[in-house]
């Protein structure tokens, strides 16, 4: 085996960053990643184990200030950003200018269309460079964009909700089987870790426990990703996210009308053929449906469906772990593609 890849993680103190650090540390082709912090970040901790005591006793996880010269001195080639959207938007141009390859877990570079990107209200210091990087960034959904990811310098890791919805709908839409005039509805539910580590009144224990609530109706940030990647018009998909009183996991229930009557084996074949050879998507035979607990702590997206007796009303169910296939696991899957390694390495 050739020399091991040197990588760095900025934002390891968040939930996704912690999961990412754990995966990278055990990846057989990587050295232990350098963990970075922004000025004033990481709650002032000098070591990640101060924030996550479960890491104690494993040799230390020092958090170093971000320094481009120091990364170059260490021979770091790949930078993971698990930072807020605005931070990633400003940091990526600097990282690319340093010759680094970047996998960004935020929403900073996912969206191509200005009307969708407007939800973030980015103020780019260099609009020309930002536009160039937006055009070059590859949407990091391996099952759809694997060939492009391999050659990318900047990979925009998908949103967790978007991953669950896009993977469920892509086979049927690309086969031209969906009656798009009838519209598509996605009713999606996520565990509280999907809201990030910083507490809010909506994610406080008192608000989440023994409760189920809808939020960001018609204006969730992941909606733009879904319609762009699926080739839909904005009015063709209604997406409503909900907050579940569980730690992690996403379940999306998606309602579709087919443009012709089909039999369940035809629908199953459409899904299985599309994901043939794609290890991290599991298709369940009807009437068995995915559940959140099946995909927890894995990098799988689980897909299932039920077809009405009329053969046209279809319900799809898609489950992912929002911190793994919806974030850190998918980022490592993208890294494996970028370096032409087997997609499963480090994720089994």
Q: Is 160 one of the annotated active-site residues of the chain? A: yes
Catalytic residue among 160, 270, 301, 319: 160
Task: Find the Cα–Cα–Cα–Cα dihedral 98, 341, 135, 127, rounded to 10°.
Answer: -20
13 CB-side CA count, 13 A: 20
CA distances from 93 to 46, 62, 83, 112 (A): 27, 25, 14, 16
Q: Which residues on adjacent β-strands are paired with residue 79?
A: 8, 102
The length of the chain in residues reads: 348
Residues 6+ positions from 154 with CB-CB distance below 8 Å? 92, 96, 101, 102, 104, 109, 133, 136, 137, 138
Q: Which of helix, strand or coil describes residue 289? A: coil
Cβ burial of 108 (10 Å; 0-12, 13-18, 19+) is: buried
d(CA 92, CA 90): 6
Instruction: Give CA separation, 147 vs 11, 139, 141, 163, 331, in Å.
Output: 28, 11, 11, 18, 15
d(CA 317, CA 250): 10
* Pair 76, 100: CB distance under 8 Å: yes
All residues at 6 or more sequence positions from 82 whose CB lies less than 8 Å from its CB, including other chains: 9, 10, 11, 12, 14, 16, 17, 20, 105, 106, 327, 328
Indicate which residues carry an active-site annotation: 160
């Amino acid at each position: 085996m050739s020399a091991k890849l040197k990588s760095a993680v900025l934002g390891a103190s968040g939930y996704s960053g912690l999961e990412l650090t754990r995966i990278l540390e055990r990846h057989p082709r990587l050295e232990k990643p350098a963990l970075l912090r922004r000025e004033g970040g990481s709650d002032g901790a000098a070591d990640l184990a101060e924030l996550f005591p479960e890491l104690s006793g494993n040799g230390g996880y020092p958090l170093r200030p971000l320094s481009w010269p120091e990364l170059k001195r260490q021979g770091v080639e790949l930078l993971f950003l698990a930072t807020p959207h605005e931070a990633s938007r400003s940091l990526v141009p600097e990282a690319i200018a340093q010759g680094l390859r970047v996998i960004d877990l935020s929403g900073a570079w996912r969206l191509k269309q200005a009307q969708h990107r407007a939800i973030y209200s980015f103020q780019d210091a260099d609009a020309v460079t930002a536009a160039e990087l937006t055009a070059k960034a590859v949407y990091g959904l391996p099952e759809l964009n694997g060939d492009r990811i391999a050659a990318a310098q900047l990979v925009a890791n998908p949103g967790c909700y978007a991953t669950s919805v896009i993977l469920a709908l892509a086979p049927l839409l690309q086969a031209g089987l969906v009656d798009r005039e009838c519209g598509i509805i996605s009713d999606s539910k996520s565990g509280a870790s999907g809201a990030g580590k910083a507490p809010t009144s909506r994610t406080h224990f008192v608000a989440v426990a023994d409760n189920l609530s809808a939020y960001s109706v018609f204006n969730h940030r992941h909606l733009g990703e879904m319609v762009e990647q699926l080739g839909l018009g904005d009015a063709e998909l209604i997406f409503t996210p909900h907050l579940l009183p569980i730690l992690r996991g996403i379940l999306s229930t998606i309602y579709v009308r087919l443009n012709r009557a089909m039999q369940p084996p035809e629908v199953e074949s459409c899904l299985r053929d599309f994901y043939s050879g794609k290890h991290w998507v599991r298709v369940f035979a009807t009437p068995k449906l995915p559940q959140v607990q099946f995909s927890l702590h894995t990098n799988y997206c689980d897909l299932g469906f039920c077809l009405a007796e009329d053969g046209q009303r279809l319900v799809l169910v898609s489950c992912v772990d929002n911190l793994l296939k919806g974030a850190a696991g998918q980022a490592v899957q993208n890294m494996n593609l970028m370096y032409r390694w087997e997609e499963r390495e480090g994720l089994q």
